Amino acid sequence: MRVLIVEDEEMLADSIAEGLRAEALAVDVAYDGETALERLGVNDYDVLVLDRDLPGVHGDHVARTVVESGSAVRVLMLTAAADVSSRVVGLSLGADDYLTKPFAFEELLARIHALGRRAHRADRPQLERSGIRLDQARREVYRDGHYVALARKEFAVLAELLKAGGAVVSAEELLEKAWDENADPFTNTVRVTMMRLRRKLGEPQVIETVQGVGYRIP
């Protein structure tokens, strides 16, 4: 899942991003509404965590622009205002969920995962294929009933392959979903991660390489 955090309190934004990355999510950060709109125009995000009270380009304008663009991104709006009228306004602008500050990180994470499932209706808490079972909530992977310990990026890549349901996933698509905007598309990051993932999943090899196209789990 790829998430965009838009929050003008830089320490808070960076703290949220660090926590989400520790949960194997790909996270980009914008500290103002203008930058957020630029990134939304370039990247496909699953969830947008949006501070409503942004300076300059207000969070309300960002939310309205997202809705009018027809984007599939799900919007979780953050605000310090806890009154009902503020929540109603935020939801009426097109936000899918609302969370008031201060909040517990665990609740934020749960809401992001819930919105991510709504963005991709085919997603399930547990993904299974070819003897592999991946539990997205517990971040656990089993092959033929045996636990497999994976690093964050390996877990994220495996999740994307399982979500594809046997279809081929390109290296570019994996970079888009499992890494953030700082990933260099010209590196061998995906190939190296795939080598490690295959080694940990063991024999016989379950991830196929479709030459010149990408990877799949048949």
Residue with structure tokens 């990933």?
A: 183
The H or E element that residue 84 is part of is helix 84-92
Q: Report if pTM > 0.85.
A: no
Question: What digits encode the pLDDT tens for the residues 174-204?
Answer: 887 787 666 665 568 888 999 999 999 999 9
The H or E element that residue 40 is part of is helix 33-42
pLDDT (average), residues 32-44: 90
**Quick one: what percent of the chain has pLDDT higher than 90?**
47
148 vs 118, residue with greater confidence: 148
Best CA proximity match to 51, nearest among 63, 41, 43: 63
The H or E element that residue 106 is part of is helix 105-119
- 160 CB-near residues (< 8 Å, 6+ apart): 169, 173, 174, 177, 178
Question: What digits encode the pLDDT tens for the residues 53-96?
Answer: 888 899 989 998 988 888 889 999 988 766 666 666 656 777 88
